[in-house]
């Protein structure tokens, strides 16, 4: 469902949410702790900046950070930018999108859970998720 790229991107954003408190942090200092190749992450961050899910400034003392607006985005926004809408809505059996009218044999045993997951990815904000980590209720993997 999620590509490595999306996983990387989500981890990076969560890391920023937790560790940059309006402070700028450079790629290297994100990629190292979350264990993602630096140049690869740098590339992933570009579209996120362009879509205003992440903020950045160039030059010395520059780096990446999240402003209030960024913090109120949802995980699904990140997935949309990195993997695209199609992947997100694709049917469990076909390459095309999930079809309510002509459900595949797996559809009915999945719809509810699927919808639930999508709703959560849509509604929980980055800020909320980061809070859970700060409270010790969740952990950033790897």
- Cβ atoms of residues 122 and 76 within 8 Å: yes
Q: Which is nearer to DNA, 43 or 115 (CB)?
A: 43
**What contacts 132, CB < 8 A, 6 or more positions away?**
138
Stretch that binds a copy of itself, among 21-29, 47-55, 57-65, 114-122 (CB under 8 A): 114-122
Residues 57-96 that bind a copy of itself (CB under 8 A): 75, 91-96
Residue 133 binds: one of DNA, a copy of itself, ligand FES, none (C-beta under 5 to 8 A by kind): a copy of itself
Residues 76-105 that bind ligand FES (CB under 6 A): 91-93, 98-99, 103-104
We find the least distance from the C-beta atom of residue 49 to DNA, in angstroms, to be: 4
We find the least distance from the C-beta atom of residue 51 to a copy of itself, in angstroms, to be: 20
We find the least distance from the C-beta atom of residue 113 to a copy of itself, in angstroms, to be: 4
């Amino acid at each position: 469902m999620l590509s490595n790229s999306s996983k990387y991107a989500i981890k990076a954003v969560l890391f920023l949410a937790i560790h940059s408190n309006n402070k700028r942090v450079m790629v290297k200092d994100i990629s190292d702790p979350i264990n993602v190749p630096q140049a690869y992450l740098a590339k992933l961050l570009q579209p996120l900046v362009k879509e205003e899910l992440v903020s950045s400034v160039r030059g010395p003392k520059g780096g990446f950070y999240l402003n209030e607006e960024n913090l109120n985005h949802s995980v699904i926004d990140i997935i949309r930018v990195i993997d695209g809408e199609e992947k997100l809505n694709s049917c469990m059996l076909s390459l095309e999108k999930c079809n309510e009218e002509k459900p595949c044999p797996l559809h009915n045993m999945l719809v509810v859970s699927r919808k639930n997951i999508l709703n959560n990815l849509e509604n929980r904000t980055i800020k909320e998720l980061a809070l859970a980590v700060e409270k010790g209720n969740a952990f950033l993997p790897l």
